[in-house]
Amino acid sequence: MALDFAFTPEQEAFREEIRAFLSKELPPDHWKLQSDREQAPAGQAEFTRSFVKKLADQGWLTMHWPKEYGGRGASVMEQVIYNEETGYAAAPVGIGSQMAVTMAGPTIMSWGSEELKTEHLPAISRGEALWCQGFSETNAGSDLASLETRAVRDGDDYVVNGQKIWTSGAHTADWCMLLVRTDPQARKHKGITYLLMDMRAPGVEVKPIISMMDAHGFNEVWMEDVRIPVRNRVGDENEGWYVATTTLDFERSGITRVAWSRRVLEEIVGWVRSNGAVANKAVTRNALTDLWIAVEVSRLLSYRVGWMQSQGQVPNAEASMVKVFGSELACAITNVGTNLLGLGGGLLRGSTGTPPLYGALPLGYMGTTTYAIAAGTSEIQRNIIAQRGLGLPRS
């Protein structure tokens, strides 16, 4: 079956509608403010929540969801267009809302009981619920199935004890997608259960992790005798690994990062054209051309995932291809940009004057370093591609 990435006139009109909305609702200097934390306006969290609510009011936040769950049954490719445009504009959709819409909601739809669907999906579709992902642990990152957080059945509850780490947005989240071990005697992939944890439950403690960018996005989450109702289980007991892989596939298949990378590359190219003072123009031209081609490849790989979903297929290795290629491309773009702009553009931030690209690259360079680690390392993605995509044996 041929892959057709041509957009219909209706889809192109929808793209223009989103662009007009973003132009109206975002400040003229929004891209600059997103790149310069010290000049970001006060009340950014409130602005993000308000903006997400506007997206929900437009019917865009969960437009790809079925109508019975608060969506409008839009096509997958319409969702791809929406993600691409909001990513390009660095729209403040918020990590908690993103996880709710793209990970928690679809996973609950795929595996959850009708009770869980009724409880959680409407709140997500209205932009009212923020979620986080309680997967990784100190000794269970890439080897996620080695997790040790324990849940013991006690009547109608699970009693949970343990710790999660690198939990993005846990300090603002209402709910957590939580992986726990319910059968310590089973093989490690077989004794895991997937629970939904109320972040306000007694015994839940969130401790911030401050990054080298002086940013608070990551957290540790400690659980001491936290009681989670059995009805909050997604899928069967001890079968949570299969539910988790569904969540991870949703996490890895987006085009938002690709669109952001394209925007950064365009900013770098614009600076080179207006500045002209680069050490070796031929080398610079070739490096930027290679990156431009790679951005187009990354975009088409993302379109392929969307196309597969539109055909009722479930991308797996294909989602990992998008993840590893897009993550490493973002690193390459900020690396080339930092070297091109030199010390002034690579070290200074916006509050120190008027550095090239308003100080965007220092944060971008440090931030993209995590892309090859978060949501599954590049090594893990390559293993998935080799085994599930190419059919190669495990070594």
Per-residue pLDDT at 40: 46
Dihedral-angle region of residue 359 (phi above 0 means left; psi in -120 to 50 means alpha; beta otherwise): left
Q: What is the pLDDT of residues 83-129, one digit of tens each?
A: 899 999 989 888 899 899 988 998 999 899 999 999 999 999 999 99
Per-residue pLDDT at 232: 98
Per-residue pLDDT at 341: 78
Helices first, then strands: H and E counts in the chain: 13, 8
Dihedral-angle region of residue 180 (phi above 0 means left; psi in -120 to 50 means alpha; beta otherwise): beta
Which of 216, 310, 292, 305 has its CA nearest to residue 256? 305
| Residue numbers in the chain where pLDDT is lower than 50 | 37-41, 252
**This prediction's pTM:** 0.81
Per-residue pLDDT at 34: 61
Strand-pair partners of 358: none
- What is the DSSP annotation of 219-279? EEEEEEEEEEEGGGEESSTTBHHHHHHHHHHHHH--SHHHHHHHHHHHHHHHHHHHH---S
Q: How far apart are CA 245 and CA 309, in angstroms?
A: 16
Per-residue pLDDT at 37: 46
Which residues are the active-site residues?
Answer: 251
**Sign (positive or negative) of CA dihedral 347, 352, 356, 362:** positive
Q: What residues contact 6, with CB distance under 8 A and at least 6 apart?
A: none
Per-residue pLDDT at 310: 76
What 3-state class would DSSP assign to 126? coil
